[in-house]
């Protein structure tokens, strides 16, 4: 080894301290160069977007203002806390898998939700189901629930700087076991669910009023038939009338807003779903409620993205359930695929993000639930960012000129722009792990928290 002469102002004569000093100096130099390199890479990346008329900073600022409505039910497989031990979901909801680490209590669920939000840039909302109330181990009937069971959630949400949304729970209950609720031929069963719907609205109104942001109350019912019903009209008439009774009380939209969720078919309701897309388009339009489009509730070849520009023409607001259908089933973990990118592009191109409530709806118990949750929620944010970074002005120009070649060529060019660099930088600048650190981060949570449950 060649010994360098020691500089005169070298800090110390101690050999170990000298080694530390040299090490510190070289680490400093490495991190300096890394920073210089990063800056020049970023500059290069931003230039590529600027050439196409896209302002990266403006896109990031826009994304920061878009909240997702996070679905609490990914943390516990739609179990809820009605009984001391949460049950398996039923009545139209099916979750497969038994990966360890499921949230068993409200405290565990909040811990998981805090972990998930720490993995997401931006500020988001939380969407609860009425089965997630704080019932203190007592069995509280669905017709007996009230705002008092959600006081703890309201306080927790406030402490997190979050607002709340809600869903009435019309499944996992003996009165839903034969597949019908609000459209049931038995008036007693209909009454039961109408009352549950009214209670849910009341809770949502208190959530919205207390937290200063209207809670969206989404109503999805499992009503449908595996095989061929004859009186299709009768069920739909009863559903219309039950919903009318449930929504009869006028509640200020400053506190809560009603949404109704459409569906084409489900497991156990392959032949007939009472609350079909056509039913709810008509219902929501005539009753001035929001319509909820779940990406997993249509025929696999239908494009949910294409529906947006029609719905926006006739509705002021829209609720989305971002999900991923696979063959006949929905609710797979959302990923940044073409369906999602098409959807978020339409949101941005129509200029209606502010009128759209972006809810998540998927549940998978075959893998680390928090990891799955983060993948899905981050995918939606990626989709939004990618859409905001689209060269829309130029694309619209080619569109107007009917230059189909140039339009397609530019869409192809946009696909390979260095989007990932911007996404990761946005994450890191907001104190959230970039994609390359997500796996290690989630596995650490699994080891230190989930595996100890
Ligand atoms: C079911 C609906 C509904 C539920 C949640 C749990 O098909 O999509 O939104 O997934 O309410
Ligand atoms: Zn849904």
Q: What is the pLDDT, as a whole number, of residue 9?
A: 65
Read off the pLDDT of each residue in 388-417 and give the average, rounded to a whole number. Answer: 97
Longest dimension (CA), the chain: 98
Q: What is the pLDDT of residue 367?
A: 98
Per-residue pLDDT tens digits for 299-350: 989 999 999 999 999 999 999 999 999 988 889 999 999 999 999 999 999 9
Question: Is 263 in the active site?
Answer: yes
* Ligand 1 touching residue 78 (CB < 6 A): yes
Report if residue 423 sits inside a domain: no
Q: Is residue 258 helix, strand or coil?
A: strand
Q: For residue range 269-292, list pLDDT tens digits in order.
A: 999 999 999 999 999 999 999 999
**8 A C-beta contact, residue 366 and residue 97:** yes
- CATH code, domain carrying 324: 3.20.20.150
Q: Is residue 101 part of a domain?
A: yes
| 289 touches 349 (CB < 8 A) | no
Q: Are 293 and 299 in contact (CB under 8 A)?
A: no
pTM of the model: 0.91
Does ligand 1 have an atom closer than 6 angstroms to the CB of 76? no
pLDDT at 7 over 80: no
Bigger pLDDT: 16 vs 87: 16
Domain-located, residue 233: yes
> Cα angle vertex 347, ends 344, 352, to 5°?
155
- Dihedral over Cα of 95, 98, 104, 106: its sign: negative
Mean pLDDT calculated for residue range 439-443: 98
- Whether residue 10 is predicted with pLDDT greater than 70 in this model: the reply is no
Exactly one of 153, 156, 193, 220 is catalytic; which is it? 220
CA–CA distance from 343 to each of 244, 328, 382 (Å)? 31, 20, 12
437 part of a folded domain: no
Give the number of other Cβ atoms within 10 Å of residue 316's Cβ. 9
Count the domains in the chain. 1
Active-site residue, 220 included: yes
Task: Report the alpha-carbon distance of residue 15 to residue 21 in Å, rounded.
Answer: 10
406: in domain: no
Ligand 2 centre distance from Cα of residue 368 (Å) = 21
Cα 294 to ligand 2 centroid, rounded to whole Å: 5
How many angstroms separate the first and last alpha carbons of the chain? 54
Q: What is the pLDDT of residues 385-396, one digit of tens each?
A: 999 999 999 999
Interval between CA 27 and ligand 2 midpoint (Å) = 50
Q: In this structure, which residue's CA is closest to atom 10 in ligand 1? A: 361
pLDDT given at position 8: 65
Q: Is residue 33 part of a domain?
A: no
Q: Whose CA is nearest to atom 9 of ligand 1?
A: 220
- Active-site residue, selected from the candidate residues 82, 112, 202, 294: 294
* 92, 361, 365: residue to mutate for ligand 1 pocket, most atoms within 8 A of CB: 361
Please pick, among 209, 257, 321, 357, the residue that the annotation labels catalytic: 321
Question: Is a pLDDT exceeding 60 seen at residue 86?
Answer: no
User: Is the CB of 165 within 6 Å of ligand 1?
Assistant: no
Instruction: Answer whether 261 contacts ligand 1 (Cβ < 6 A).
Output: yes
More confident call, 44 vs 280: 280
Residue 151 lies in a domain: yes
Q: Is residue 51 part of a domain?
A: no
Note down the domain range covering 193: 66-388
User: Closest ligand 1 atom to the C-alpha of 361?
Assistant: 10
């Amino acid at each position: 080894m060649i010994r360098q002469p020691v500089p005169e102002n070298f800090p110390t004569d101690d050999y170990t301290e000298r080694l530390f000093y040299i090490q510190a100096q070289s680490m400093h130099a490495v991190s300096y160069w890394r920073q210089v390199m990063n800056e020049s890479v970023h500059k290069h990346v931003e230039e590529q977007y600027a050439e196409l008329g896209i302002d990266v900073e403006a896109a990031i600022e826009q994304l920061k203002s878009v909240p997702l409505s996070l679905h609490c039910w990914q943390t516990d497989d739609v179990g809820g806390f009605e009984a001391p031990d949460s049950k398996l979901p039923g009545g139209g909801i099916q979750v497969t898998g038994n990966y360890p680490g499921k949230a068993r209590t409200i405290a565990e669920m909040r811990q998981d939700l805090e972990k998930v939000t720490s993995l997401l840039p931006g500020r988001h909302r939380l969407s609860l189901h009425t089965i997630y109330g704080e019932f203190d181990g007592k069995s509280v009937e669905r017709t007996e629930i009230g705002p008092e069971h959600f006081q703890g959630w309201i306080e927790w949400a406030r402490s997190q700087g979050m607002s709340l949304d809600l869903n009435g729970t019309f499944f996992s209950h003996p009165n839903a076991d034969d597949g019908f609720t609000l459209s049931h031929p038995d008036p007693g069963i209909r009454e039961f669910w109408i009352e549950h719907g009214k209670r849910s609205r009341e809770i949502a109104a208190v959530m919205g009023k207390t937290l200063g942001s209207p809670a969206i109350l989404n109503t999805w019912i499992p009503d449908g038939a595996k095989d061929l019903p004859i009186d299709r009209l009768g069920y739909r008439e009863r559903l219309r009338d039950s919903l009318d009774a449930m929504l009869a009380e006028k509640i200020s939209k400053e506190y809560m807003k009603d949404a109704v969720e459409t569906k084409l078919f489900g497991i156990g309701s392959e032949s007939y779903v009472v609350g079909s897309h056509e039913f709810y388009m008509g219902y929501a339009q005539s009753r001035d409620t929001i319509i909820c489009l779940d990406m997993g509730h249509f025929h696999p070849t239908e494009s949910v993205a294409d529906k947006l520009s029609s719905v926006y023409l006739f509705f002021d607001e829209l609720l989305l359930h971002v999900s991923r259908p696979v063959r006949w089933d929905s609710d797979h973990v959302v990923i940044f695929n073409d369906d999602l990118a098409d959807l978020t592009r339409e949101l941005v191109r129509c200029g209606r993000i502010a009128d759209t409530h972006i809810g998540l709806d998927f549940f998978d118990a075959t893998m680390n639930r928090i990891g799955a949750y983060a993948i899905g929620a981050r995918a939606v944010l990626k989709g939004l960012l990618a859409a905001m970074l689209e060269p829309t002005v130029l694309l619209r120009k080619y569109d107007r000129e009917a230059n189909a070649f140039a339009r397609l060529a530019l869409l192809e060019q946009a696909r390979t722009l260095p989007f990932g660099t911007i996404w990761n930088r946005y994450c890191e600048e907001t104190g959230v792990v970039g994609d390359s650190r997500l796996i290690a981060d989630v596995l650490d949570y699994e080891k230190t928290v989930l595996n100890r449950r």
